[in-house]
Amino acid sequence: MATRVERSFRGISERLAIRYLTNLGGERVDDDTVAGEDWTATLSSEKVGIGPSLQLTEVTVVFEGDEDRLEPLVEKFAQKAMRAGG
């Protein structure tokens, strides 16, 4: 059964997120999609305001696939993204 998990990360770029996903076994399918064995990740990004004058990039990743594969994948990706984004 397919599972869908959506997570947002601030302070990283889509380019860096794609690199992390490919390092975790995925292959870039198009500009905003990376696919691995039994999973896909679709990325989008936007600028979000932090306080009155600061903006950060927020990357949203929608992971879809086999639940058993997604849980460790999302966890590993989140660890990399949190270190990068501070």
Question: In the chain, where are the structural domains located?
Answer: 2-85
State the Cα–Cα distance between residues 61 and 81, nearest whole angstrom: 11
Q: Which fold has domain 2-85?
A: Ribosomal Protein S8; Chain: A, domain 1 (3.30.1370)
Rg (alpha carbons) of the chain, rounded to whole number: 13
For the chain, give the percent of residues with pLDDT over 90: 72
Q: pLDDT for 29-70, tens place per residue?
A: 999 999 999 999 999 999 988 888 888 889 999 999 999 999
| Residue from 77, 71, 75, 64 nearest 1 by CA | 64
The alpha-helical segments, DSSP class H, found in 1-86 are 14-23, 67-85
Q: Whole-angstrom Cα distance, residue 16 to residue 1? A: 29
